[in-house]
Amino acid sequence: MSSTNRIDIALIEDGDMPACFKIVSETFGHDAPFVDIYFPNHDTSYGQVQGSSRLLAWKHASRDSVFLKAVTSVDGDRTSKDHIVGLAVWTHMKAIPPQKLEDAENVEEIWPDMNDRKFMTALWEDYVRPRSQAVRDSNGNGVYVLELLAVHPRYQRLGAGAALVSWGTRAADEAGVKAVVEGTPAGRRLYEKCGFSTEIEEMSFNIGEGFAGRRIPKLIFLVREPAL
Ligand SMILES: CC(C)(COP(=O)(O)OP(=O)(O)OC[C@H]1O[C@@H](n2cnc3c(N)ncnc32)[C@H](O)[C@@H]1OP(=O)(O)O)[C@@H](O)C(=O)NCCC(=O)NCCS
């Protein structure tokens, strides 16, 4: 990318969601086991319609979640259109999230295969445990949770990730609360640069018997104290 590209952060509009979901799919590919099972068939047209409508439903349902896009425009080029290159979802979580997947999602529709559904259900319980504890420890003030972050591979290392993360850490500082994230190893350096430290080096997923051959997510739980 040319150095004339500038990154701006803006709110995602409903009409942006298909493009945003495509970024999620192309960024994570099949490298991130949690994303892969959470958004089934995300690289097919059916999976993209389903994934983008789930994000849209989430955006409409959660008043405490902010859906952000990183856009790039070429300075001085008035003909170029802003282009979405990344996205983030930050939630100021004040209540403990649903502990059961079936209370958070339409499980039969999203995971019609019973084994996929059982596997995702087992992952979910362990996935939400650290963030639930952080909410419990917050004495009712809540925590800012970075729920989703992706910058398209063609636009990485231009500062979009840092800008999307900093939006939430600033908001957390203003509210005087912690920020937390279940981070991928790929995101670790960025989070550390933004003031997060590792609280759990490798989140544990006790999925039990019967899922041999399934890929287990490798996630780090990172926490950032609010700036004084
Ligand atoms: C992690 C991710 C969001 C970073 O986005 P980005 O726009 O490239 O990040 P930035 O350009 O703002 O980078 C900020 C800093 O993070 C660190 N960083 C980012 N990507 C890095 C990489 N691949 N290797 C080492 N450090 C990296 C660097 O310190 C970088 O600063 P620098 O470029 O001045 O050295 C992006 O690589 C991504 O989407 N990865 C795949 C999806 C994913 O894992 N998302 C996180 C889920 S929790």
Q: What spacing in Å lies between the alpha carbon of 18 and ligand 1's midpoint?
A: 23
* Spatial distance between the Cα atoms of 41 and 25, rounded to a whole number of angstroms: 9
The residue ranges of every structural domain in the chain are 5-224
Binning pLDDT at 50, 70 and 90, where does residue 178 land? very high
* Spatial distance between the Cα atoms of 56 and 51, rounded to a whole number of angstroms: 9
CA distances from 26 to 85, 114, 188, 220 (A): 11, 26, 20, 22
Binning pLDDT at 50, 70 and 90, where does residue 75 land? low
Binning pLDDT at 50, 70 and 90, where does residue 207 land? confident
Give, using CA atoms, the residue closest to atom 35 of ligand 1: 157
Give, using CA atoms, the residue closest to atom 15 of ligand 1: 190
Reply yes or no on domain 5-224 having CATH 3.40.720.10: no
Structure tokens at 91: 């939630």
Query: Is the CB of residue 149 below 6 angstroms from any atom belonging to ligand 1?
Result: yes
Nearest to 133 by CA among 169, 96, 102, 103: 96
Give, using CA atoms, the residue closest to atom 5 of ligand 1: 161
Query: Is the CB of residue 151 below 6 angstroms from any atom belonging to ligand 1?
Result: yes
Binning pLDDT at 50, 70 and 90, where does residue 2 land? very low
Query: Is the CB of residue 28 below 6 angstroms from any atom belonging to ligand 1?
Result: yes
Q: What is the pTM of this model?
A: 0.95
Structure tokens at 117: 């559904």
* Spatial distance between the Cα atoms of 169 and 151, rounded to a whole number of angstroms: 18
Residue-level pLDDT at 5: 73
Residue-level pLDDT at 82: 76
Query: Is the CB of residue 9 below 6 angstroms from any atom belonging to ligand 1?
Result: no
Query: Is the CB of residue 132 below 6 angstroms from any atom belonging to ligand 1?
Result: no
Binning pLDDT at 50, 70 and 90, where does residue 208 land? confident
Residue-level pLDDT at 3: 46
- Quick one: DSSP state of residue 13? P
Q: What is the percent of the chain where pLDDT is above 70? A: 95
Q: What spacing in Å lies between the alpha carbon of 190 and ligand 1's midpoint?
A: 5
Residues contacting residue 86 through CB under 8 Å, at least 6 positions apart: 23, 27, 69, 70, 149, 150, 151, 152, 155, 160, 161, 164
